[in-house]
Amino acid sequence: MKAQHLEPAQPTLSGVGELDRQAVTAVMAQLVDAFAHRDSALLDGIFAEDVDWFTGLGSAVRGRAAVIQHFHQHFLRPDFPRTAVTSGADWLVHRLDEDRVVVLAPLQVVGSVRPTSTDRDTRSVHVLSRLASGAWCITLQLFHSPLRISDSVHTGGAAVQRLSPDALSANRPELLSGPRIDLSDSRSVDESDG
Domain span holding position 124: 18-187
Query: How large is the average pLDDT for residues 145-151?
Result: 45
The pLDDT of residue 59 is 83
Instruction: Work out the mean pLDDT of the chain and round it to a whole number.
Output: 66
Decide if 41 is inside a domain. Answer: yes
- pLDDT of 181 reads 38
pLDDT for 51: 94
Residue 6 forms part of a structural domain: no
pLDDT tier at 12, thresholds 50, 70, 90: low
Is there a domain that residue 4 lies in? no
CATH number reported for the structural domain that contains residue 169 in this entry? 3.10.450.50
| Residues pairing with 120 in the sheet | 109
110 burial via Cβ count (<10 Å: 0-12, 13-18, 19+)? middle
